Amino acid sequence: MSQDEALREGLARDLDGTFESLVRAYQDRLYSFALRVTRNAQDAEEVAQDAFVRAYRALGTYGEERIGALALRAWLYRITLNVARNRLRGKKPKLVSLDHPRPLAAGESETRAVWEPADDPSERPDARYEQGRRRADIATLVGQLPKRYREPLVLRYVEGLQLDEVARVLGQPLGTAKSNVHRGIVALRESLSRSRAGEPQGVRK
């Protein structure tokens, strides 16, 4: 039995007794996702907390059969995304980056990105610099994507959701989610090619 299956079964039988386990299983992932969307640690913490409150209230109105049929991971990400969107509504739009800071382990550089692997001492400094520059370029370009491409790309390739889960989170048909992921990748490739050719960087809308 998978973790989500066990959680669904527990939530259906005993919501109050199992909800803490749900929070422990997903709090870091939902906070991390909210941070990528809001680009603000305080906002992300409040978004994650609010998402769990809304999830608890919703589960309290669901019957056992409905809880047992939930696509739990996609459902929680969808709630989090909706809360984050509501929080950002009326604020100046912020770009999503893939290199937001996170607590550093001993000996790590302060500029190390969240998704970079640990430095290999055997690597040449110029190679490490070039790799870091490319990652920063990609993160910047992802942040420049229109929301309809940016959100599915982050969900698919940063959060690791399957395409059907991405579609559920965004409330889109599966074909639309696939198309937006594909178009986002094409836009990134075109922009990277232009930047390497010395043309102005940026994603064509």
CATH number for the domain formed by residue range(s) 125-196: 1.10.10.10
Given CA atoms 28, 34, 38, 42 in this order, what sign does their dihedral have? negative
Domain with CATH 1.10.1740.10 in the chain: 3-88
Distance (Å, rounded) from C-alpha 43 to C-alpha 169?
A: 20
pTM of the entire predicted model: 0.69
Q: What is the pLDDT of residue 188?
A: 79
Overall CATH class of domain 3-88: mainly alpha
For helices 3-13 and 72-88, angle between their N-to-C axes, nearest 10 degrees: 80
109-141 pLDDT per residue, tens: 444 444 444 555 545 554 444 444 455 556 667
Q: Which one has a higher pLDDT value, 144 or 57?
A: 57
Cβ atoms within 10 Å of 158's Cβ, excluding its own: 16
Closest CA to 100 of 49, 47, 158, 35: 35
SS3 assignment for 80-141: HHHHHHHHHCCCCCCCCCCCCCCCCCCCCCCCCCCCCCCCCCCCCHHHHHHHHHHHHHHHHH
Q: Which one has a higher pLDDT value, 67 or 146?
A: 67
Q: Percentage of the chain surpassing pLDDT 90?
A: 49
3-16 pLDDT per residue, tens: 999 999 999 999 99
Label residue 122 exposed, middle or buried (CB < 10 Å: 0-12, 13-18, 19+): exposed
